[in-house]
Amino acid sequence: MKIESLEDLLQDELKDLYSAENQIVKALPKMAKTAHSNDLRRAFEEHLDQTKNHVQRLEQACTELGFSPKGKKCVGMEGLLEEGKEVMDMGSKDPASPMEAGMIGAAQKVEHYEIAGYGTVIAHARQLGYNSVANTLAKTLEEEKMTDEKLTKIAENRVNVQAAMQTDTRMGSE
């Protein structure tokens, strides 16, 4: 697809987000299964449900604009999810390992990517007068921000503390 207008760019960005969200739907169950912390596991499971709604909102927006969201692969999200997989593959099975801190960091990279993407498409939709589409996608943007905040709290209040304690223990035995 050649991008010759803001309208073309909006369509391309929406297709990219649609691909990204579908990739996340596939990745979250493994992340939830790998998480040792109940809080982190629940956060991933809840975000899976939200992400399925995000896919539906994108489908609704694209239908309203008269095109299919299919046909593009989000290579940015593919890379971010691959980084997250590497963290999980290298991590220890020890519940207090820093792997969960790494998983949260990887998940937050994904959230920040989505926040940037949704902020951009909302701005473009508003510029083009597609306020209904912008308002629909603004709900998703808020959910992405809330997920990022929830992950920060889990990291700061539990996971990072446990990972640091394990690091302190290992350093003391050397």
In a domain, 120, yes or no: yes
Both tokens of 56, joined, read 């539906």
In a domain, 143, yes or no: yes
In a domain, 1, yes or no: no
| Structural domain of 150 | 6-172
**CATH number (domain holding residue 45):** 1.20.1260.10
- pLDDT, position 124: 98
In a domain, 127, yes or no: yes
In a domain, 42, yes or no: yes
In a domain, 24, yes or no: yes
**Per the structure, how many domains does the chain have?**
1
Which residue, among 81, 79, 86, 65, has the nearest Cα to 12 in the 3D structure? 65
Both tokens of 53, joined, read 């709604």
In a domain, 38, yes or no: yes
Which own/partner pairs from 92-100 qualify as long-range (CB within 8 Å, at least 24 positions apart)?
94/166, 95/36, 95/37, 95/162, 96/162, 96/163, 96/165, 96/166, 97/36, 97/163, 97/166, 98/163, 98/166, 98/167, 99/34, 100/35, 100/36, 100/37, 100/40, 100/159, 100/162, 100/163
- pLDDT, position 159: 79
- pLDDT, position 171: 47
- pLDDT, position 89: 85
- What are the per-10-residue average pLDDT scores of the chain (174 residues)? 94 98 97 90 96 98 97 96 90 69 93 98 98 98 97 86 64 48
Angle subtended at Cα 86 by Cα 84 and Cα 91, rounded to the nearest 5 degrees:
100
In a domain, 136, yes or no: yes
Distance CA 113, CA 70 (A): 20
